[in-house]
Amino acid sequence: MEARMKNVIGKYPGVLKALREFTSASDRGGVAPSTLELVHIRASQINGCSVCVVMHSHGLKKLGESDDRIFAVAAWRDAPFFTEAERAALALTEAATRISDRPDPVSDEIWDEAAKYYSEDALAQLLVHIAGINVWNRFNVATRQVAMSGQDLEAMTAGRN
Give the domain CATH number at 78. 1.20.1290.10
Asked whether residue 159 is domain-assigned, the answer is no
pLDDT band at 1 (very low <50, low <70, confident <90, very high): confident
Nearest to 113 by CA among 132, 97, 83, 92: 92
Per-residue pLDDT at 105 exceeds 90:
yes
Asked whether residue 28 is domain-assigned, the answer is yes
Return d(Cα 50, Cα 56) in angstroms, integer: 10
If you average pLDDT over residues 83-90, what whole number do you get? 98
Domain coverage including residue 34: 8-147
Return d(Cα 155, Cα 77) in angstroms, integer: 34
Asked whether residue 116 is domain-assigned, the answer is yes
Query: What's the predicted TM-score (pTM) here?
Result: 0.90
Contacts of 87 (CB under 8 A, 6+ apart): 76, 77
Question: What total of structural domains would you count in the chain?
Answer: 1
Which amino acid belongs to residue 58?
H
Q: DSSP for 67-112? A: HHHHHTGGGTTT-TTS-HHHHHHHHHHHHHHSTTSSSSSS-HHHHH
For the chain, give the mean pLDDT.
Answer: 91
Return d(Cα 161, Cα 159) in angstroms, integer: 7
Per-residue pLDDT at 34 exceeds 60:
yes
Distances (CA, A) of 10 to 37, 62, 140: 23, 26, 12
Lowest mean pLDDT among 16-20, 62-66, 118-122, 129-133: 16-20
Per-residue pLDDT at 30 exceeds 60:
yes
